[in-house]
Amino acid sequence: MTDTDLGAALPLPVASADFQDRLARRRSAPAQSLTGPGPSREEIERILLLGARTPDHGKLFPWRFVVMGPQSRADLAEKLLPLADGQPGPDKARKVLSKLTAPPLTILVICSPVDSQKVPVWEQHLSAGAVCMNLEHAANALGYSASWITDWYSYNAAAMALYGVQPGEQVAGFIHIGTLAEAPLERPRPNLAERTQYLP
């Protein structure tokens, strides 16, 4: 799945007001509010193609995707219910399972580090996080809204076993994709002057 031949020259970036505007207005969607229509199979493959174009020191591809439709997520939520009872806040743990079942599509991103003397595992985790963000951007570019979520079942060993997370792997995120009936509201953003240092 590639748009470009290996070794082909790629065009240099050009200024794009539309791209800047999209980034300036990027906003995660409430997962429970995502409904249909969702992406078609062709659009899903496009989202994955764009998402995989991410920084990846060493070209290790230390991540993998699990594309989950409504049935697989409904089955997963049912299996997670008994595990929710063992969480510190069981009522809340059960409630957040609606984030799994509401959207029409979910792409689970699993960080799958590769043994490397050159590339630390931390950098491989960062690459998996970059994939998650790229998937959100790709979904937005196709006209869909998206939500990057983890929640308790991303860290619970018994839960992770239900969707095939292997020893040494971690959940980078559940990327929920669909359509919003209403535009999301803006949220607080950081004061960049407090978080930026300029050096001569």
**pLDDT one-digit tens code per residue, 106-147:** 999 999 999 999 999 999 999 999 999 999 999 999 999 999
Rounded to whole angstroms, the Cα distance separating 18 from 20 reads 5
The per-residue pLDDT for 5 is 79
Q: What is the Rg, in whole angstroms, of the alpha carbon atoms belonging to the chain?
A: 18
Instruction: Give the distance from CA 159 to its chain's centroid.
Output: 18
Tell me whether strands 145-149 and 170-178 are parallel, antiparallel or unpaired.
antiparallel
Q: Please, which pLDDT band fits residue 184 given cuts at 50, 70 and 90?
A: confident
The answer to whether 104 touches 34, Cβ cutoff 8 Å, is: yes
Per-residue model confidence (pLDDT) at position 87: 92
Question: Average pLDDT over the chain, rounded to whole?
Answer: 94
pLDDT tens-digit series, residues 154-167: 999 999 999 999 99
Q: For 1-25, how does the pLDDT look when each residue is reduced to its tens digit (9 = 90+)?
A: 466 778 899 899 999 999 999 899 9
Domain architecture of the chain: domains with CATH = 30-183 (3.40.109.10)
**pLDDT, tens only, 82-103:** 999 999 999 999 999 999 999 9
pLDDT score recorded for residue 6: 81
Residue 128 near residue 172, CB atoms below 8 Å = yes
Looking at residue 2, its pLDDT comes to 60
